[in-house]
Amino acid sequence: MGVVKSKRMPRAVREQQMLDAAVEIFGQRGYMAASMDEIAELAGVSKPLVYLYLNSKEDLFTACIRREAAALTEAVRTGVRTELPADRQLWDGLLAFFTHTSRNPPAWSVLHLQARIHGEAFAAEVAAMREEIVAFVTQLIVVAAREAHRDPDLPEREVAGLAEALVGAAESLAAWANATEGVTARQSAATLMNFAWAGLGNLMEGRPWTLRDVPTEGTPMQVG
Amino acid sequence: MGVVKSKRMPRAVREQQMLDAAVEIFGQRGYMAASMDEIAELAGVSKPLVYLYLNSKEDLFTACIRREAAALTEAVRTGVRTELPADRQLWDGLLAFFTHTSRNPPAWSVLHLQARIHGEAFAAEVAAMREEIVAFVTQLIVVAAREAHRDPDLPEREVAGLAEALVGAAESLAAWANATEGVTARQSAATLMNFAWAGLGNLMEGRPWTLRDVPTEGTPMQVG
Amino acid sequence: MGVVKSKRMPRAVREQQMLDAAVEIFGQRGYMAASMDEIAELAGVSKPLVYLYLNSKEDLFTACIRREAAALTEAVRTGVRTELPADRQLWDGLLAFFTHTSRNPPAWSVLHLQARIHGEAFAAEVAAMREEIVAFVTQLIVVAAREAHRDPDLPEREVAGLAEALVGAAESLAAWANATEGVTARQSAATLMNFAWAGLGNLMEGRPWTLRDVPTEGTPMQVG
Amino acid sequence: MGVVKSKRMPRAVREQQMLDAAVEIFGQRGYMAASMDEIAELAGVSKPLVYLYLNSKEDLFTACIRREAAALTEAVRTGVRTELPADRQLWDGLLAFFTHTSRNPPAWSVLHLQARIHGEAFAAEVAAMREEIVAFVTQLIVVAAREAHRDPDLPEREVAGLAEALVGAAESLAAWANATEGVTARQSAATLMNFAWAGLGNLMEGRPWTLRDVPTEGTPMQVG
DNA sequence: GATGAATGAGATTTCATTCAT
DNA sequence: AATGAATGAAATCTCATTCAT
């Protein structure tokens, strides 16, 4: 009766349990402060088994980063349908992003905070994921420009900077939202969408960005 | 000619040297990976002297955070003149911010990355500084709204979210700029100013934010 | 032939070896001067293993005190049969006490000297043991008074003081006997028994305490 | 107005201040745990001055022991008049001893506890003092035996043991009295005097030791 | 497949002690 | 006479990692 701590599980399952534990601990303590002892204990296995499967602390951390990076990009990719208009794609992407990060705070901590701090090797793993997202946003901006008028005079470098700023803002907001009580993924997405699309200037003059069919909670993003 | 490594210096001077070294090492290695040995060596003193003056690794780190937070807020405060229009104030603030962070990359790493990761106590030190800046931006938005029209219907909470997003974007951009070759403070400020003030929508329709008297390098800023 | 330094022993055994070594070193050097390095070396293990099992220098010291205190009280308890007359009980107790302390000089040093010096926490551990012994002696005095005459007019507080003095004398004698060549446990017990029971006054007037059936070596305790 | 912390004092005075501070700290913390920093601070001088005058921690500790040992023996010597009867001499000596130790707890801690623990050299310093006292007591016993009857059949070795036990009991009682609230020097002396002179046996049969002219507080020591 | 036993290397921190003034 | 500045050496403790079963 009760939860039986079954032994002898297939390797794939054990590995996932270990990664779950590792993400949890790395997210809470940070890479250096996390101890393999604690991770093994939380995973419910002995330390040597962790080493047998994941090889070293570094490899374990890298495995965490890879798994969570893949999960996040997959979530965003799934949320976006490229046949829709650019602003709608951005909205859907943001919503998927904030939804995922808000559901996996330790994972987001690992990707956003920990991985960047501890060595170039780890940072590079995250950078790959990030570039994929930046590329997606960059392309969105280009498409939107094309949709808006026939003369796309935004130089490439400028577009890159804007995408960077937008992604950076999203990352910061995600961390802030996780740390702040009562902020929903939808609210975060709405705030950022307004900020990015309409700009403060427009917002203040009463002309926020609007998108039909999207039920909203944030104030300035008005449902038409 | 050259720096003479003089011995027996007054305490105040030595303390600054130690803090310089500590910011450098903490910025590079992170709090946990930084060793007191390395810091002492870089400061050109023995480890016991570091402990005598700064007391402990924690206290040393806190002292770094305090000094750099004070320096950054001071730099921004000095750059802004509150009698000017809101957008000009934002521009000046951003310029001062990016100028300071680009000149002190390790200091910015300590404030932006390290301090947030290692314990609530450290994070709180930074949070105080951050709140000061967020408050400044929040007030700018309110003032700008008042300048734009008499009916400021942006609810308080929304304004807070926008300020958060803007500051977050600036922080991210600063880190990115430090890590990317050839990005000037002025460019960063311009990119973010456009992004924040005009919004992507306006930008793409050829209506970027402009400010007279400000010579710029970034492209879309400064229309004709 | 000889002691094979076998590796990989069960935890319980290793812990006892560590405690043996710790008592030895703490007894010789004192708590502060004893180094975990030396203890680990004498125990034939690495320092981390000592920490893994015993947790900290403080905990290790406490474990030593507890073990030795228990051993000593057990030795005394075993030596005394409560159905015998009071003076015989005292004699048996003293003999057991001096026998045990003379066989484990470092243990006695730990209990009598070290534990009292280094912090109230340690002293309290010993105080518990000591109180047990003082209580035993106190009760002996009361019983003896009852046996001697029906009117026990010794006030409680006075009895406590006497018990304290007797136990204190025994403790001192034990330390002195350990430091002095050629003093047997039996001699110490006899000296103290005479001192305590008959008093100097009686002794000097040729009326020492005597106990039938007890072969003695000390002079004044004459076999009647 | 207020205590003026005068500088430039004659060496002899400064040295006494340092010894005062050292006895205080050594008594509280123990030899190892006491830090020269703390001693210098309590003495109101800089550390190098302590080294200039007292040379080293060891020498400082030895100086403390010497001073306090001399003070204690002097106090006992002064309290005893050798022309009086032996038991009166013992009483006076005990009273002087307990009075002195109760007035200088840190000094007594240094002599009784600290000095014995930390190295043979220190212990030897105390041993010299102790031997002087033991010799005094030994002689008292011999004299008393002579007074009591003409046939002193107590062998020398036995007398030595008895003196040792008596002195040991006194030492223990002194420490206990210092640690216990409300125990006066007179009470300690009375308890021990009864214990030593009459013995438990006599006490319990209602025949305590008595001394004319000595006002008492302890119960069994009755003024005839 | 899984683990209890064990360790080498290195972290922070403290302290007695000395130099230069 | 007196001190602020500075350090070498050593202490406790932690951790990633491996061995033997």
Residue C7: exposed, middle, or buried by beta-carbon count in 10 A (0-12, 13-18, 19+)?
Answer: exposed
Q: Please choose, from the candidates B47, B193, B179, the residue with its C-alpha nearest in 3D space to the C-alpha of residue B113.
A: B179
Q: How far is the CA of B193 from the C1' of E16 (A)?
A: 60
- Which chain B residues in 43-72 sit with Cβ < 7 A of strand E? 47-48, 51, 56-58
Between C173 and D154, residue with greater pLDDT: C173
* Sole residue written with tokens 């600290």: D114
Strand E and C49 CB separated by under 7 Å: yes
* Minimum-distance CB partner of C141 among D118, D197, D200: D200
- Which chain A residues in 48-67 sit with Cβ < 7 A of strand F? 48, 51, 56-58
Contact indicator for D38, D25 with CB cutoff of 8 Å: yes
* Minimum-distance CB partner of A200 among B31, B171, B196: B196
**Nearest nucleotide, CA C40 to C1':** E7
Q: For C217, which residue in chain D has the nearest alpha carbon? A: D158
**Nearest nucleotide, CA D57 to C1':** E16
Residue nearest to nucleotide E2 (CA to C1'): A49
**Chain segment C118-151, per-residue pLDDT in tens:** 888 898 999 999 999 999 988 888 887 777 664 5
Interface test with D, best of C200, C209, C211 (most D CBs within 10 A): C200
pLDDT band (50, 70, 90) for residue A2: very low
List all residues 6 or more positions away from A57 whose beta carbon is below 8 Å from its beta carbon.
Answer: A36
* Minimum-distance CB partner of B32 among A33, A148, A158: A33
Strand E and C29 CB separated by under 7 Å: no
Average pLDDT value for residue range C78-103: 92
Does residue D112 have a pLDDT over 50? yes
- Whole-number CA gyration radius for chain D: 20
Residue nearest to nucleotide E1 (CA to C1'): A8
- The dihedral over CA atoms of B30, B33, B36, B37, expressed in degrees to the nearest 10, equals -130
Tally C–D CB contacts below 8 A: 162
Chains touching chain D, criterion 3+ CB pairs below 8 Å: C
A136 to A90, A97, B57, C33, C169: CA distances (angstroms): 9, 13, 43, 65, 88
* Minimum-distance CB partner of D203 among C154, C176, C195: C154
Does residue A129 have a pLDDT over 50? yes
- Which chain D residues in 52-111 sit with Cβ < 7 A of strand E? 56-58
A155 to A162, B169, B206, C175: CA distances (angstroms): 11, 21, 12, 91
Q: Compute the distance between CA of residue D108 and CA of residue D118 in angstroms, rounded to an integer.
A: 15
**Nearest nucleotide, CA A48 to C1':** E3
Q: How far is the CA of C27 from the C1' of F5 (A)?
A: 39
> Do residue A191 and residue B153 have CB atoms under 8 angstroms apart?
no
Average pLDDT value for residue range B95-116: 94
pLDDT band (50, 70, 90) for residue D156: confident
As a whole-number percent, the residues of chain D with pLDDT over 70 amount to 81
List all residues 6 or more positions away from A94 whose beta carbon is below 8 Å from its beta carbon.
Answer: A170, A188, A189, A192, A193
> Do residue A173 and residue B164 have CB atoms under 8 angstroms apart?
yes
* Minimum-distance CB partner of D117 among C30, C176, C198: C30
Q: How far is the CA of B34 from the C1' of E10 (A)?
A: 12
First vs last C-alpha separation in chain C: 51
Contact indicator for C133, C69 with CB cutoff of 8 Å: no
Q: What is the pLDDT of residue B165?
A: 85
> Do residue D171 and residue C172 have CB atoms under 8 angstroms apart?
yes
**Nearest nucleotide, CA D11 to C1':** F1
Which residues in chain C touch residue D197, judged by CB atoms under 8 angstroms apart?
199-201
> Do residue A197 and residue B195 have CB atoms under 8 angstroms apart?
no
**Chain segment C177-223, per-residue pLDDT in tens:** 888 888 899 988 888 888 887 766 665 565 566 554 444 444 444 33
Residue nearest to nucleotide E18 (CA to C1'): D48
Q: What is the pLDDT of residue C37?
A: 94
Which residues in chain D touch residue C162, judged by CB atoms under 8 angstroms apart?
191, 194-195, 200, 203
Which residues in chain C touch residue D144, judged by CB atoms under 8 angstroms apart?
200, 204
Q: How far is the CA of D46 from the C1' of F1 (A)?
A: 11
**Chain segment D47-99, per-residue pLDDT in tens:** 999 999 999 999 999 999 999 999 999 999 999 998 988 888 888 999 999 99
What are the strands, taking DSSP E only, across B33-138?
A: none
Q: How far is the CA of D49 from the C1' of E5 (A)?
A: 52
Which tokens in the block code for residue C147?
Answer: 């046996």
> Do residue C149 and residue D218 have CB atoms under 8 angstroms apart?
no
Strand F and D5 CB separated by under 7 Å: no
**Chain segment B144-189, per-residue pLDDT in tens:** 777 766 455 567 767 777 888 889 899 988 988 888 888 899 988 8
Q: For A119, which residue in chain B has the nearest alpha carbon? A: B29
Average pLDDT value for residue range B106-128: 90
- Please state, rounded to an integer, the average pLDDT across all residues of chain A: 82
Q: What is the pLDDT of residue C148?
A: 67
**Nearest nucleotide, CA B43 to C1':** F6
pLDDT band (50, 70, 90) for residue B3: very low
> Do residue A164 and residue B176 have CB atoms under 8 angstroms apart?
yes
Strand E and D214 CB separated by under 7 Å: no
Chains touching chain A, criterion 3+ CB pairs below 8 Å: B
Does residue D34 have a pLDDT over 80? yes
Q: Compute the distance between CA of residue A23 and CA of residue D167 in angstroms, rounded to an integer.
A: 67
Q: How far is the CA of B202 from the C1' of E1 (A)?
A: 62
Q: Compute the distance between CA of residue C33 and CA of residue C31 in angstroms, rounded to an integer.
A: 6
Q: 3-state SS of D136-193?
A: HHHHHHHHHHHHHCCCCCCCHHHHHHHHHHHHHHHHHHHHHHHHCCCCCHHHHHHHHH
Give the torsion sign (CA, C146, C147, C153, C156): negative
List all residues 6 or more positions away from C65 whose beta carbon is below 8 Å from its beta carbon.
Answer: C110, C111, C115, C122, C125, C126
pTM across the whole model: 0.84
Q: What is the pLDDT of residue C139?
A: 87
Kindly report the bases of strand F lying within 7 A of a protein C-beta atom.
Answer: 1-21
Q: How far is C176 from chain D (nearest CA, A)?
A: 8
Residue nearest to nucleotide E5 (CA to C1'): C8
Q: What is the pLDDT of residue B152?
A: 54
Task: Count the helices and strands in chain D (H runs, E runs).
Answer: 11, 0
* Minimum-distance CB partner of A165 among B30, B162, B192: B192
Q: Compute the distance between CA of residue D38 and CA of residue D22 in angstroms, rounded to an integer.
A: 9
* Minimum-distance CB partner of B176 among A158, A168, A205: A168
> Do residue B114 and residue A114 have CB atoms under 8 angstroms apart?
no
DSSP string, C11-41: HHHHHHHHHHHHHHHHHHH-TTT--HHHHHH
Query: Long-range CB contacts (< 8 A, 24+ apart) of A16-23?
Result: A17/A43, A17/A44, A17/A45, A18/A43, A18/A45, A18/A50, A18/A53, A18/A54, A18/A60, A19/A60, A19/A63, A19/A64, A19/A67, A22/A54, A22/A60, A22/A61, A22/A63, A22/A64, A23/A64, A23/A67, A23/A68, A23/A106, A23/A107, A23/A110
**Nearest nucleotide, CA C48 to C1':** E7
Instruction: Give the rounded distance of the alpha carbon of A169 from its chain centre.
Output: 12
Average pLDDT value for residue range B181-208: 76
Q: What is the pLDDT of residue B148?
A: 67
Kindly report the bases of strand E lying within 7 A of a protein C-beta atom.
Answer: 1-21
Which tokens in the block code for residue A180?
Answer: 């702040």
**Nearest nucleotide, CA A13 to C1':** E1
Q: What is the pLDDT of residue C218?
A: 42
- Please state, rounded to an integer, the average pLDDT across all residues of chain B: 83
Q: Please choose, from the candidates A186, A209, A200, the residue with its C-alpha nearest in 3D space to the C-alpha of residue A85.
A: A209
As a whole-number percent, the residues of chain C with pLDDT over 70 amount to 81
